[in-house]
Structure formats: structure tokens, C-alpha cells
A and B are shown apart, each in its own frame.
Chain A
Amino acid sequence: MENTTLLDVRSVHKGFARPDGSEYVVLDGVDLTLREGEIVGLLGRSGSGKSTLLRLIAGLSRPGGGQVTCLGRPVDGPPEGVAMVFQSFALFPWLTVLANVEIGLEAQGIARDERRRRALDAIDLIGLDGFESAYPRELSGGMRQRVGFARALVVHPEILLMDEPFSALDVLTAETLRTDFLDLWGEGQLPIKGVILVTHNIEEAVLMCDRILIFGSNPGHILREIAVALPQPRDRLDPDFRALVEAIYVEMTARRPTDTLSSRAERFPGTGIGSALPEVSTNLMAGLLELVDAKPYDGKADLPDIAAALRLEVDDLFPVAETLQMLRFAEFSGGDIRLSPEGRRFAGLDTDDRKALFARHLMTYVPLAGHIRRVLDERPNHSARWDRFAEELEDHMSPGRADETLKAVVGWGRYAEAFAYDDNTKLLSLEDPD
């Protein structure tokens, strides 16, 4: 299927400057091609740079290296023939549905009557008739995103960029909207020739896309490309569909060891504190441990099953499982999670014993937690500023990540009662407040 190439991304690189002037790399060496008639999915966890890539394609920011060619022209600013749908809908709350849809045409200087006619057509197509004079706040999330679609389609784009367009919607609404979109696409009712869909939902990617690019992080890069040959409309219960979803789960988890703690710690010898940690609540960890420990799983479970049971998506589930693995409460590979003996013990303990066990593992297996505790122990007043550790972390990661990492460790430290933190004074200390 050698169709016309709509979009071509060649060895793109993107980084942001840190305060100290060094570069924090978000994307590196990314290639991508979108051909006519294709829906291409960019699948990955948050922080893997997939949204950044979409913004480079949309001309909203400039790559640090490499080139983006869109409809035969190099991208330098928002290109003609490209429209975007946003996760948060991004409607103008002070404009009616009609005015929201019209604004793109208005920017192109199209005459009032023509504008009105095309906007009404788009509203009609996307199933919004009757809501023309409503303000976004009067609409449900699903209807708002329909406005988002109408606004994108009304300018007759050749390429549609979608940034997690269904992830802010409830499950049922998201499914309806996906199906409606696929129907319109399949029937050839849309002006668009190709779609790029950013998502972290594996099933969504398999349901909608012809090709899926799986993203890895640190820095963001494409791990693998998977072609989805299943005919549309696809059935989530079809064994082939399930097998593909499972395979992608495995794919995404199998790659984990390459950037788990041990290898990252090796990259920063000496301290071992340089790894970014996800903010995972101890409630979630305990919940996952209890769930997997109990029947019917008995200590070993399949990730897709768990995801369904907990109503979580990959983005929410991976960090929890990864943190449990880091704490040696579980092992995590090939799409399976298997509790360690300590993990199973944790599930059976009461609150105080859980805290003690957690504290032991935290101090032993999370270098940053041990590091904070040592610093506090060594200081005569047993306290240290938040910034002291934040700055230390910023040598290894972006300021935002450093903050998140420190928050994560402080949350765990508080649960373990290993150290305390006072947000008013921004001080970490050994004493508990009265």
C-alpha cells in the first residue's frame, strides 16, 4: 500500500533548557510517516514525549533538530491543512457552539455567510444540531468534545491530530464518540486524509489505528511499530483483538527493565538517587497488593485483568506496579505481576506492621529515601530544607520531575513514618509534628 505520504518526520530531537543552561531531552531520534488513508497511533506513558511530538507536527513548537514535512512543505508554524483536537476540549467558554466552530474560518478571513453555512454543515455532521446557540458550559463532556471535532473538521483539514481526545470522557461517552468517529471515517464522510492519535489507552489504539508506534521514555523515542491488520469495525472481544492488546501489554512491560532503578542507578554511581520516581499513593500500592494477593489471583495476575478490575489504564497502572517492583514487593514482567513473599506478607499485616515493613523496604531499596534519612540523621537539628534535595535532584532531571520525585518520596516517607515534612516551613525533619 504505497499511498501518498501526508506527513514525514525525520530524526526529530526536542529538548528544554534547564535553569543551569543544560538541556533536558524530551524526544530523540524520532521518525514517523503518515500515509493517505491511515490512522497512526502514538502510544506510550505520560512523559514519553508523544504529546510533544504532536505539538511539533502541529507547528506549535519547533524541533531542536531534524525535520517535519507536512503535505510537502517543511513545518514552520501551524501548517495549512492540519487541525487538532485537544484532550481538554479547549473550547472558548465565552463563545457559543456555533461561534466556537466558526472561529477557525473567521481566522482565514472567510465571508460571514460562507462561514455560517460550513459551520452548520460541520455541526450537523458531528451530531450537534440544536446546540448551535449553547455555551460550552451547558454541554456534557461528550458534547463538548463533539464541538472540538466540529471545530477541527470545519476548516477541511487533510490531517487531523488528536491529543488523547477521549481520555477526559467517561467510558461510555468515549466509546460512543470513538464509534461515531470511526463510522464517519469509514464512510468517507470526513474531509481528512490521515489521522494521528496520541493515546495511553492500549485498547483505544488497537480499536482505532492502522499502525501503532509504541513510545519509550527518558528520553522519548519510538520503541516499536506494530501494524494492526484487523478489519474495521473491530470487536473488543475478538480473540485476535485480545491477543494484540495482550501482546502490546507485554511489549510495554518487557521493555521496563531497561530503565528500572538498578540500571538507572548505575548511570549515576555513588549516590543512586538520580532516578525519577512516580507519585504513587501508598493507598494504591496497598490496594494492588491486596487485590493480587487475594483469590482468584493468589499472588500472580495478568496486567490487563488487573487493569480492568481496578478500572485503571496503563498510565495509572504501570507506575504502581513499577514502584512495587522497586520496593521488591512484586515482580513485573511479560505483562504479569507476581508478588514476592514480602509482598504477600504485607497484604496480610495490620496497619502498624505494614508501615514497619514498608519503612524497611523503602530505606533499603529506594536510595533517595535512604539518602534523605541519612542527611537528617547526620544533622544536629535533624532537619533539612526541601530545596536542598530538590536542587540535588535537578542535576539528574528536569525541575518538574525533581519536584514530583521528591513529593513521591516524601509521601512514602510520611506513610512509613521514616521522616516528616512541614509544608509551611518547607522543612523535612525526623520529628513528627504534635
Chain B
Amino acid sequence: MFQAHPPISVGGHRRAFGIWDVVTLGLLLVTLALLAEGGRVAVAALPAEPQIDLDPANLPYYALRTTFRMVAALACSLVFTLTYATAAAKSRRAGMVLIPLLDLLQSVPILGFISVTVTFFLSLSPGHAFGAECAAIFAIFTSQAWNMAFSFYQSLRTVPAELTEVSYSLRLGPWMRFWRLEVPFAMPALVWNMMMSVSGGWFFVVASETISVGSTQLALPGVGSYIGLAVREQDLGAILWAVGTMLVVVLIYDQMLFRPLVAWADRFRFVQESELAPPGSWVLATFRRSPVVAALAAPLARLGDWTFRVSPHDRGPMPDRDRPARAGDRLWVAGVLVLLAGLGWRFVRPVAAEIGLEEILEPLGLGLVTLVRVMVLIALASLVWVPVGVWIGLSPRAARIAQPIAQFLAAFPANLLFPLAVLAILHWRLNPDVWLSPLMVLGTQWYILFNVIAGASTIPTELRDIGTSLRVRGWLWWRKIALPAVFPFYMTGALTASGGSWNAAIVSEIATWGDVTLRAHGLGAYIADATAAGDFTRILLGIAVMSGFVLILNRAVWRPLYLFAERRFRLS
């Protein structure tokens, strides 16, 4: 349901130089090197002790390893999206099962996935880094895949009827229709969600490198484990080096991937919002003018042509959309429910039987604490960033400068800064229950900011002019013009920020510095403790309770608000 892709502004074009062809080649080589290194590592033996060296000279290598995990997870997420969402959209019966399942998966805390699955992944290849890498990549995958799949599913369901008719009338086969109509149509939303996923993913890629479940320790070379060691050794200098490295990595990601992709995907946008300048990217401009890229793309295009030629061409009529439910469907749903009940009886009941009422009440109570924390912080962040975002968004020049910065900050893994916050709390002897909380929104508040900026910059000039001419000012102006206009955008941002904050709770409610541990009361701390202790019953319980909270919150609060905002306030 996070398929909104608000427009973003990015820098202008530059002239292409021959040197950019060299850059292009260089980039391709780096990518190849990354893949080769990933393969080499996968078969390398896993060292017994994590061998992280705090020498800053090692940081580029660690950053490369961290980035490789991100890229691998993104590739998995794409494959998952193109298959899972397609199945859900094309087969009504599959959709009946897959979509609620996706909704459920989306509400499970991401670090919860790693706690539960790490043992399995490590058992895949004992003694090799492969299993550990898989566990980390899987965790990042879970932070990226769900909203991409949702966005793709939504797009597939909303392909304009006349384009589908054309594709049948011109007798495109299913394979060709997929690549020539459905994927391009879905592209802008998919790319936007993909980039939001990657932005959120930096947080988890860093977190997943240092997780230990009971005695099982994930020890992967990367910026995250570098920071972990620096925290244990109380080396502030090393932490600052790591933060600096990550700034550079995210900057490169922003310029080399995010902006080119978003600018490229703009071409696939079905309806053009006329007032806005299309996003641009100097990297994309370079690629487009580069003969090297053209030469490399041509064989790919030919390959695509060939697959279209050999793929089957169907000759049947268009399937009728939205046929009413039939008895067969009911039978199918009933079958799935029976199967689920059976599985639940077989696997959940034995675990549930061991758990007493008190043991359930504890995470529930802690969940309420975390809920209050999330809501209060989102409210506070909104109070700050909505006015700021509106103010920035109304000035095109300010928006041009601030928007990329806000998006950049959203991508920066805020957990790298946690040790600094812990130092501050220790220094001033602050109450961790209160002062650890802001860490939850440290990284996610930017979603509110840049969405509101995007919203404010789409307020039509006429609407602002009529406000000025009627002398609507002060609070009235906010209430009648600014806030309603940015509300749908704000909802997108707040939704994303809320989801991210729940996830962040697991790493932010407990923070360490050397051998000092700061602890806030909350469900996140509960899950983190259970994970550290390797207590699977409590891990599962904590995850189930958190998923429940998020699910109910989404259903009862966010989704109705979001739909209301779309219906009432979307300027279109």
C-alpha cells in the first residue's frame, strides 16, 4: 500500500564529456569486481572470530562488502517482486492467499526475520561465510521486498483498460505483454518503492552484520560490524570514520543509483504532472549519450526481441476482469483456511501450550509502551517537519536544495549515530526511557519531511493566489490551504516513518557503549533481549505481538486515514 511515488527534484543536466565514457566503463568494471568478490567470499571459510580491524584504511573494503549485500538483496527482491506479485495479480485464487500473506509479512519486524532464520541459514554451509551472508542478505531482502511487491501488484491491477485492449488487439503474447506493457507501466512506482526500500535497507544492512542469536554469532566484515567493534572498544574516532564512510557510500548510491533510476523511470509515467519539472540526473544523461552504453544495450535489446519471437502467442479473447466470485473460489478459500488451521494446530499449539498468560501479558504491555513512544515521536516529528516542509516546498529554490538532502538523510543508516547518542545520555545522566526514544525516529523522520516538501511544491499557483487575494493568512491559511494540500503526501510519509520506527525499536531501545548497556522499557528491548539470549519462544512471542500491533495500527489507523486523505484532499 505504500505505492505513492511523490515527485522529487534533482539537479540539472550537464554536458557529456568523452571522459564519462571512461567513467561508465569504470562503473561496469567495479560492478563486475563486486560480483566476483561476492562469489569469492561466499566460498571462503568463515573465521571463527570476527576479524574486524579498526584501522580506517580497511573501511573502503568493508563498505564494499556492505554494499554487495545490499545489491544482492535488491536483486532477490526484484526477482521476488516480478514473480510473487505477478502470480497474485494474474491468478485470482493465488491473489486471495498471497496478498493477505504479503500484508502480514509487511508487518513483521525485519530484525525479527533474522533472529528466527539465522540458525537455518548458518546450517546451509557450516564453516563457510556463505550461510552467514545469506542470513544477512535475507534480512535486507525482507526490508525491501514487501512494499516493492505491493507496488507492482497494484500497478498490474491498474493497467489502463485501453492499453490492455491494444495489446490483445495487436496480439502480443503474455511474455511480450508483460515486458512491453505491464512492467513499463509499473516502472515509476516500482522504482520509487525500490529506492525507498534501499534507503531503508542501509539501516538493516548495518544492523544485520552484528546480530548474535544466543551463541550463534553473525560475523561479517562490513561497516556495521566495524561500528560494533568500535562500540565495544569505545573508540570514538573509529565510529566517526565509519560514519564518514557511510556518508560517502550513501552519497554514491544517491547519485549513481537513486537519481538516475528515478529520472529514467519518469519516461514510463502514464500521466504526466505537467507543472513539475521532470527529474533529471547527470549520470543518466551521461549514460544516455554514451556510445559504450548504447553498444552494450543493443545485444540486450536483440535478446529481448528474440524472446518475444519464440515465446508463445495467445490468440484467445481478453479475460473478463472482476468476474463475480464463484463456488469454486469459496471452496479454494475454505481449503486454504483448513490447511492453515491444521498447520497452526500442528506447529503453534505445542509452543503456545508452554506459554502462560503472564508471559503473553508482558510483551503486550511493553508493546503498548513502544506504541506510545512511536505515536508521540511521530507526532513530535510532524509538528516540526510539516511546517518546515511546507515552508521549503513553497519556494522552488529551497525545495530544489532541501529535497535531495532530506532524501539523503532518510537513506543514511541512523543506527550508526546511536553510539553518539548513548555517549550523550551517559554524559548528562539522562533517563534512557525518554532519551533513547528519539533514536527511533532519527532515521525515519525524513520521510515526513521530504514527502511534505513534495506535497507543498505541488500546490497549484492559482490556489495560493486565491488565498492571497482573499487575504487568507495565519492559522486560517494553514488550516484551509496548506495542511489539506499536503495531507495526502504527509500520510505517505507518516506511514513510512511509523513502519520504520517500529523496526528501529528493536535496535534503539537497547544501546551499548563498551560494557555499559542503556535500556528503555519496550517491546523492542524485549525482542532484542530474547534474541541475545537465544530464547526462541520469547523471540516468536515478541515478534508476533509486534506484528499484531503493526497490523492493527495499519488497519485501524493508517489505512483509513490514508484512503481518506487520497479521497478528500488529493489535488488532481
Contact = CB atoms under 8 A, between A and B. Distances in A.
A90 interface: yes
A335 to B, nearest CB: 34
B275 interface: no
Chain B, interface size category, equals: 20 to 34
Contacts of B113: none
A107 B176 contact: yes
A61 B318 contact: yes
A400 to B, nearest CB: 12
B324 A135 contact: no
Contacts of A112: 305
Interface string A97-111: 000000110111100
24 contacts: A18-B324, A59-B169, A60-B317, A61-B317, A61-B318, A77-B316, A78-B171, A83-B170, A87-B162, A90-B160, A90-B166, A92-B166, A94-B267, A95-B180, A103-B180, A104-B171, A106-B176, A106-B308, A107-B170, A107-B171, A107-B173, A107-B176, A107-B313, A424-B568
Given A19-B324, A103-B172, A112-B305, A137 B180 contact: no
Given A106-B176, A107-B308, A59 B323 contact: no
A69 interface: no
Contacts of A82: 169
Given A17-B323, A90-B162, A93-B269, A77 B172 contact: no
A17 B170 CA distance: 28
Nearest to A112: B305
Point out which of B166, B314, B324 has the most chain A C-beta atoms below 10 A from its C-beta: B166
Contacts of A58: 165, 169
A76 B318 contact: no
Nearest to B172: A107
B364 interface: no
B181 interface: yes
Nearest to A79: B315
B184 interface: yes
The 10 closest A-B pairs by CB, nearest first: A90-B162, A104-B170, A77-B315, A94-B184, A94-B268, A77-B316, A90-B166, A109-B309, A107-B172, A84-B169
B116 to A, nearest CB: 41
A338 interface: no
Point out which of B169, B314, B568 has the most chain A C-beta atoms below 10 A from its C-beta: B169
B324 A86 contact: no
A82 B165 CA distance: 13
Contact of B317 (A59, A84, A108, A424): A59
Chain A, interface size category, equals: 35 or more
B168 interface: yes
B180 to A, nearest CB: 7
A90 B172 contact: no
A398 interface: no
A55 B162 CA distance: 11
Contacts of B272: 137
Interface in B7-26: none
A313 B184 CA distance: 36
Interface in A299-322: none
A86 B315 contact: no
A229 B418 CA distance: 85
Contacts of A76: 315-317
A395 to B, nearest CB: 16
B44 interface: no
Contacts of B308: 106-107, 109
A130 interface: no
A88 B162 contact: yes
A88 B315 CA distance: 24
Contacts of A93: 267-270
A84 B165 CA distance: 10
Interface in B313-370: 313-318, 320, 323-324
Contact of B168 (A78, A86, A103): A78
A433 interface: no
B165 A86 contact: yes
A30 B557 CA distance: 52
* Interface SS majority for chain A: loop
Contacts of B309: 109
A155 interface: yes
Given A106-B305, A137-B272, A92 B181 contact: yes
B103 to A, nearest CB: 25
Interface in A384-434: 424
A17 B326 CA distance: 12
A92 B163 contact: yes
B165 A55 contact: yes
B167 to A, nearest CB: 8
A231 interface: no
A112 B318 CA distance: 28
Given A59-B168, A78-B315, 4 more contacts: A59-B317, A61-B317, A84-B166, A109-B313
A83 B169 CA distance: 7
A186 to B, nearest CB: 26
Contacts of B313: 107, 109
B330 to A, nearest CB: 14
A17 B169 contact: no
Point out which of A58, A76, A90, A112 has the most chain B C-beta atoms below 10 A from its C-beta: A90
A77 B314 CA distance: 9
Interface string B147-185: 000000000000010110110111111001000110010
Contacts of A239: none
Contacts of B187: 94
A21 interface: yes
Interface in A47-63: 55, 58-62
B172 A61 contact: no
Interface string B217-261: 000000000000000000000000000000000000000000000
Contacts of B324: 17-19, 21
B17 to A, nearest CB: 24
Interface in B180-234: 180-181, 184, 187
A90 B317 contact: no
Contacts of B172: 103, 107
Nearest to A59: B317
B438 to A, nearest CB: 36
Contacts of B316: 76-77
A58 B165 CA distance: 9
B109 to A, nearest CB: 35
Point out which of A62, A78, A424 has the most chain B C-beta atoms below 10 A from its C-beta: A78
Contacts of A94: 184, 187, 267-268
A155 B170 contact: yes
A60 B318 contact: yes
Nearest to A105: B170
Point out which of A94, A95, A155 has the most chain B C-beta atoms below 10 A from its C-beta: A94
Contact of B162 (A18, A59, A86): A86
A283 B165 CA distance: 36
B180 A92 contact: yes
Contacts of A104: 170-171
B269 A86 contact: no
A126 B267 CA distance: 25
Interface string B451-479: 00000000000000000000000000000
B442 to A, nearest CB: 36
Nearest to B187: A94
A93 B163 CA distance: 10
A88 B162 CA distance: 8
A87 B163 CA distance: 12
A424 B315 CA distance: 46
